[in-house]
Structures are given as C-alpha cells and as structure tokens.
A and B are shown apart, each in its own frame.
Chain A
C-alpha cells in the first residue's frame, strides 16, 4: 500500500521554503536570487488587512468559465480562485490535500480519495462523493470535453460512502495525481452544471467551491470575482474584497498600466523588460520558476535529421549559455532535457550539452556531410523567437551548417508540426507538474500522441516511459527520468534550449503572493496594503 497523505489545510509557502526551492534547483539559483525584493515581498509579516479590489492585467481574455471545456491557459488563472481541485501543488511541485483531505493507493490501478467534509459549492449545495463522480463522468462523456485525454486512464468511479470515492484505473498511471491538481481535478457544482448547461461557459455563478465567487464577466472588458465569506478553510484569507481581471494585449502598455497604478498585478514580464522593472521602486517583481521547456523538435522521418550524427552536430554547435544570456537575458536557465529544475525529477548531475565545434565537425563527417549542410527551421514570428533563431543561425554557421529561418504564426506552426511538415521546428511547452507531462507524449511511440512531432520511435525510450507510469515510488521514477534524459541527449528528438522563468510584476501594495511553479496566481492569502 502506498503512503497515505494526512489531511492538513494547504499551507502558504514561507520565504525559507521558497528560497530553499530556488537554491536546491541548482542553475536556477542565481536568477531566482536576483529578485530578493520579490521574495521579501512574499514574506511580508504585517497583519493582513481585509478588503480592496485587486486589479489584474492579462495578455488576453479568458475563453470559457467551464473548466471541463477549457483549452486556454489563461482560463486557469481565474479557475484557481473560484474552483478547487481535489489535490493542490506546493512550491516544490509536491501534491497536497485540496478538496480531498487524503488519498490511498491500495494497488497500482486504484486510487481512493477521502473528501473534505463541510465544503459547499457557491450555490449552497454540498460537495461530496456524488459530486466527484458527476464531475469525472462529465469530463469523460461531455462531447465538447477537453479533459478526456487527461482522465483517459480512469475507467470507473465508485461512491464508497458520501465522503469517499474510488477511481478504478484502466492502467497504472503514476502521473494522474499531479494531473488532478489542475482543471482535470476541479470540481463543478452538479446542480449548477445541469441547470445552466452551455451557459456555464459564460456564467460561473455558484459553480465552484473556491475562496472567491464568480460575479460577472463583461466580455472584452473585465471579469469580476468576489470574496467567498463562507469559504470552508478558515486559515488565512480570502482577504481581498474583489479581484478584477482585464485583458491588456500590449506588453508595454500593460507594464505602463502597472507603473501608473491602473492595475496592480501583471501575469508576465517580458525578459527585455525585467531589468528595467526591477529597477523601478513602484513595481515588485517575483521570479516564478516555471515548468516550461522550450526546445526545437527535429524531424526524424526525413533528411537531414533522419541521420543521428547530423542531429548531434547541431546540438554541439549551439551555445546554450550564450542564448540564455543574450536572448533570454538570464530570465531562464539552459536546459539539459525536458524536465525543468523546479521538478523533483530534475537531475542536476546531468550537464546540458556544451558547445564543442570540433565534435560538431566530427559528427558532420560521421553523418556524411563534412562540408556542412543546409536545413530550414520553422518558428513563431514573435520577437524573442526571431532573436533566438538569428543567434542559433550565427552559431550554426560557425560549424558550417546553414540554417534558413521560416517565420509563421502559431496556427501554422501547430499545423506544420502535426503534419510533420518541417525539418526543425520550435516547440514551447508550458509544462506539467509531473515529469510524465513533459516527456511521454513527446517521445513515446504511440499513434495518436500528436505531440511526438519528431517521429522518434525508440524501444528503450518506450520501455522507460512505460515503466515510469507503472511504479509509484518517486525515487525510482526519478532514476528512470535521469536515464531518459541521458538517452534524449544522445538520440536528440529535440534540442533543448531553455527552461524560462516567468516573472510576474506587482504593485508594492500587493502582499503575501506565493509563487507556485505552475505560474497560476492564487489570491486566497493575498491582501492589499
């Protein structure tokens, strides 16, 4: 029987723990420590004050208020304040009790949740095992559900008693628990979902259990949530009276809005602005280490990258340190593989591939192209991607490799990737809390795993990935992911570039923000000075 997690309430991340997380994450440490103001800020010791409206600027408006139908990252920023998942993430990507106060795994194909008592949805109905069953069934059967893939390993859901629910799995799935920390674990009121139907997409009144209740969404203008005074967790907040989200698409204008006090929070600061913003006394920057993995997929199914030596030649020609310093302005760290330094599975002992032009030339000769070769790289037409492409182009040229750059919009990029219509293509993955989410779907041979754009099919890799889903011991899984990272550095379905940091900026009035590496802003314990 696997370990049972005891059911304490989710705790805030202390400064010490945050610093520890930053320090143990190795290469991340210098960048994380660049933001002492941000960290101190998260550690404010004054007594929290109730009230006030927090105004938040996002780059785009939310798409839907129904977590089971949501395919957009920005929706989650709102959801994490009005809905709650069964389990929640902590700053080290550990899984902690959420709406479920504990869980057991009697065998690899069974997961039993003990649910928290006394929790009510905002519409006044009880949260219980029937509600959990309803939610999983809805995710699995609702025609427009975007969650089907995430809950695919769940076969049936049994209500054991009003506060115990058992998930019977089709196959062992060690990553499931971490998946349930986000939209796939978020519980919607069955009553509201049934009564409101499709209208739930626009109006989430009464639907959640979270620290804030949905008030209104004036499309193209703002989305408003208000404090839930009946919130079940009496420790800490919610303190804020309201949170008002607004879309401000232009990064420069969003930053100016923050500096002028029109908004108090912005979701992301571009690397180019980070230094300037950190020098501004009216803005507090918090570096949030992310789960992301920015890389380039190499097409194994056609020349030139069907030849392993040529893939390696490219990897040895690139200087990741220079790219991270020059393009990302150190708002990130060079990547040794797909797993970010924030993850428990990250192996610090594996260095990223260092530039070695002699080796690159040797690999070119081995691949039958001693004089170099020419290929095309497809990337998104946004400034930082273009800069990165140009730096790579110059670095590769020194090894005799000519890289042509093809700039496309996001829609075309995805279509080219899915159709394998590329030689090398940019891939920026936002990341998942469990390392499985950054690996399996990219490197496993399974028809239908459409993110394996490179077309890699390697029996050893498949076996490692399968095994990592079957065993539940974190230490054992970590060993498997280390082996996988080494294998990836040799086979190179992708060249890994950077694990970016996602800096967020706040007005100095905003207190007690706890950064979690999934980048979601949970405002439960936040208050305004």
Chain B
C-alpha cells in the first residue's frame, strides 16, 4: 500500500508541471489583460503602463513563467490583481462552501442512487427498473440551471420554505447553513444521482450474470445476501471511479450552480478571475483544483485496493 501511494505521488509531479505550463500559456494567450479589464473606463495610458510594469506584465512571457514557478516552489501562489489579496486567502475563503456543497450533493446523490441502482438491476425490466431508468435519464438530460430555477421558484418564491440564494456556514449556524445549501445540493445531487444510478445498474447487471452468483444462489443464499455480499461488492469498482471523478468536478466545476445560488465557491472564483484576466488568481486556482483532482483520484485508487485485494498486490 505504501509503495502504491509513493508511486502515485511521484506520478503526479509531471502532471502538475504540465498543468502549470498549460494554464499559464492559456490565460496569457487569451486576448485582453488585467489592467485593461480592471480600468476599462480609464483613459490614462501612463497609469496603465506603470501598473503593468509594477506587476511585471511588460516582461517576456518565459520570464514571467519562470518568476511564477520560482515563487510557487517556495509555496507562494502570488496575489490577486483585482483585490490584491494572496491567492491562497482567496481560495481559502472559497473552498469551504465548495467542499460543503460537494459533500452534501454527493450524500444526496448516494442516498438516492444506491437503492434505485440496486433495485433496478435486481428487478430488471420491472416497473421499479423503468421508473429508475427514466429518473436517471431525466437527471442527465436536465440542465443544472433549469433544475435550479425550478427549485428556486417552487421552494423559494412560491412556498418560501428555503432561502433563494446566499451562503451561511453550516459549521457556525447548522440549521440556516443547511437550509442555504439544500437547494444547490439537490440541484447538483440530482444530476450526480442520475450518473451513479446508471453506472451502478449496469455494473450490477454485469455482476449478477456472473457464474459465482449462480453458485451462490445454488448453495441456497437469499436474494438479499447475494446482492449485498457478492454482486454489490464486485459492482463497486466502476461506481467508485465515477464518484471520484465527479467529486473532483464538483469542487471546481459547480460554476453554474454557484452562480445561480450566489454561493461563494471556487468555481465562480475561477470564472470571475478569467473574465478579469486576473492571471495569478486563475493560475493559482486552476493549479489547486488540479491538485484536488489528483488527490481525489488517489483516494479512489486506494479504495480499489480496499475493495479488490487483487489490485493491491499487482
């Protein structure tokens, strides 16, 4: 296990290097620059020139990249150009709502998807399966923003049960915090539940058609025991893969949900930073999201080993 972990960690180094070069090149090659974006209505070219010089934006790109990498190796992600605060502080403020939202959405998704996925597979072609499959299709087809607006209209405007937008930290005010995250978590959770349901159903169906299931049934095990102890465990690998990938996406990519519900998350931070051409912020956040992705995949890899010992010894 230790060697697997070490091997995986070493493998992340070139990936991270590629990410730094890629994000640096992409954002710097995008037309526009932070000073123009920040001072759209100012006509004073001297001020703009001075600011560009102060920020080092007048230097060649390779030098700017080298400076950034140099600071990065010392653990310094730089400062945002727009609000002049350290990138790490910006991300620090935004990561908590993103993690809480991702966790809650994942919880909702698993709560919904696990029973539906298992039942659909165990009672294939039954009414339960048809309802489950339709739900999954609906969840995948519905765009996030539409689900969000429908939920807001019903639960926020008409029934007034839940707040429409904004964020309260559940760690400080548990009830209000959960209320503020409920609609966005359902919005994200529904789509996620749909993906997990489909994956779980198909891998369960595959597992249920294996010989060892027939053997298990032949030796007189109950349906429940067959599904739980034999089929489910073997069907989990693709499901865990999907969950791992989705969790990474949830943390940095819930842009639309964060935007609609005015949640101060990482996704919105990076999009706003791109529009403001806030180079250090975009670079820093994308890098951190990449690290998050790599870590969540690492956890998935380790889970494989736990679920299937054969992988551990390979």
Q: What is A's interface to B at a CB cutoff of 8 Å?
A: 60, 63-64, 71-73, 143-146, 148-149, 152, 198, 201-202, 219-221, 246-250, 252-254, 256-257, 259-260, 262, 408-416, 418, 429-430, 441, 448-451
Between A and B, 8 residue pairs with Cβ closer than 8 Å are: A198-B84, A219-B83, A253-B149, A259-B157, A411-B32, A411-B276, A416-B31, A418-B36
Q: Is the CB of B152 within 8 A of A253?
A: yes
- Give, as a whole number of angstroms, the nearest-CB distance from A250 to chain B: 5
Q: Distance in Å from the Cβ of B219 to the closest Cβ of chain A?
A: 58
Contact status A71-B41, CB under 8 Å? yes
Report the nearest B residue to A412, measured CB to CB: B31
- Among residues 24 to 80 in chain B, which have CB atoms less than 8 Å away from a CB atom of chain A? 30-33, 36-48, 50-51, 54
- Does chain A have a CB within 8 A of B262? yes
- Determine whether B275 belongs to the interface, using a CB cutoff of 8 Å to chain A: yes
Are B164 and A448 closer than 8 Å at their CB atoms?
A: no
Give complex CA distance A247, B51 in Å: 28
Please report the C-alpha to C-alpha distance between residue A448 and residue B43 in the assembled complex, in whole angstroms: 7
Q: How many A-B pairs with Cβ below 8 Å?
A: 121
Q: Which residue of A lies closest to B148 (CB)?
A: A253
Contact B31 A220 (CB under 8 A): no
Tell me if B45 and A146 are in contact (CB < 8 A).
no
* Other-chain contact of A146, B47, B84, B262 (Cβ < 8 Å): B47
CB of B50, distance to nearest CB on chain A (Å): 7
Residues of the B chain whose Cβ atoms lie less than 8 Å from the Cβ of A72: 38
The verdict on B165 contacting chain A, using a C-beta distance below 8 Å, is yes
Q: How far is the CB of A519 from chain B (nearest CB, A)?
A: 14
Q: When the two chains form their complex, are residues B44 and A262 in contact, meaning their CB atoms are under 8 A apart?
A: no
Residues of chain A contacted by B82 (CB below 8 angstroms) = 63
- Candidates A71, A411, A412; contact of B42 at CB < 8 Å: A71
With contacts A259-B157, A411-B31 taken as known, whether A248 is within 8 angstroms of B43 at the C-beta atoms is no
B160 CB contacts on chain A under 8 angstroms = 260
Measured in the bound complex, the distance between the Cα atoms of B33 and A412 in whole Å is 8
B94 on the A face (CB < 8 A): yes
Q: Are B164 and A257 in contact (CB under 8 A)?
A: yes
A414-B40 in contact given A201-B84, A256-B157, A408-B31 (Cβ < 8 Å): yes
Q: Which residue of A lies closest to B47 (CB)?
A: A148
Option from B32, B83, B165 in Cβ contact (under 8 Å) with A415: B32
CB distance from B271 to the nearest CB of A (A): 10
Cα A449 to Cα B44 in complex, Å, equals: 7
Which of B31, B40, B94 counts the most chain A CB atoms within 10 A?
B40
Q: When A and B form their complex, which 4 residue pairs have the shortest distance between CB atoms, in order from nearest?
A: A411-B32, A220-B264, A149-B44, A415-B32
In the bound complex, residues from chain A placing their C-beta under 8 Å from that of B38 are: 71-72
Q: Beyond A250-B260, A256-B164, A257-B165, is A441–B31 a contact (Cβ under 8 Å)? A: no
B164 A450 Cβ-Cβ under 8 A: no
Chain B hits for A152, CB < 8 A:
44
CB < 8 Å neighbour of A256 from B31, B32, B156: B156
- CB–CB A253/B165 < 8 A: yes
Q: Which residue on B lies nearest to A250, using beta carbons?
A: B260
B165 touches A248 (CB 8 A): yes
In whole Å, how far is A197's beta carbon from the nearest beta carbon of chain B? 12
Q: CB distance A262 to B93 under 8 Å?
A: no
**B32 contacts across to A, CB distance below 8 A:** 409-415
CA distance A315 to B48 in the complex (A): 34
Q: How far does the alpha carbon of A410 sit from the alpha carbon of B30 in the complex, in Å?
A: 12
Residues 151-186 of B at the A interface (beta carbon under 8 Å) = 152-153, 156-157, 160, 163-167
